[in-house]
Amino acid sequence: MDQQTTSAIRIRPIGFNEIDVLVSYRLAYLEEMQGERDAAYTEKLRANLKHYFTESLRNDLTFAFLAELNGEAVSFGAMVLKKIPGDFNNPFYLEGDILNMYTVPLFRRKGISAMILERLIEEAKRRGISKVSLHTSKDGEKLYRKFGFSEPVYPVLELSL
């Protein structure tokens, strides 16, 4: 993709009436990262994701951006918000988790994900989010480090249940 094509990319928010777009891109991401599942499981997950995004958008706990080229969706990124208790500096904090940055394979390595990530970070700052985190693949790590993502300041431990 040349510079002229990149300049034709339009980044826009995904609206409440586009929940199916959020669901479709989440499923595409999951299939790529975890492999395909049988149709019955996928349809059950689709219904659950639709419910999740409906509630999350309604309660302003998710925002997302879509990159389009000539009206075709080519990339997507979302952020899920959580409010955590404060300390002596602030009564509460907002934190964001970036959710499945995904670019259609044909359009990868062309700077489109960076455009989406930039908009997500701008919106996070506008909303007063104090920290943004994400899980990354090895392919995505370079992009996120370029934007200043690093290992957590405090050790992070997980317990899978």
- Going from N- to C-terminal start, the domains of the chain cover 3-146
Q: 79: part of which helix (H) or strand (E)? A: strand 72-85
Query: 3-146 — its CATH code?
Result: 3.40.630.30
Q: How far apart are the first and last CA of the chain?
A: 44
**Which of 117, 122, 123 is CA-nearest to residue 145?**
117
Cα(109)–Cα(101) distance, rounded to whole angstroms? Answer: 13
Cα(120)–Cα(104) distance, rounded to whole angstroms? Answer: 18
Cα(19)–Cα(62) distance, rounded to whole angstroms? Answer: 11
Global confidence as pTM: 0.84
pLDDT in tens, the chain (161 residues): 555 556 789 999 998 899 998 899 889 888 988 888 999 999 999 999 999 999 999 999 999 999 999 989 999 999 999 998 988 988 888 999 998 788 998 998 899 999 999 999 999 999 999 899 988 878 788 888 999 898 887 777 778 88
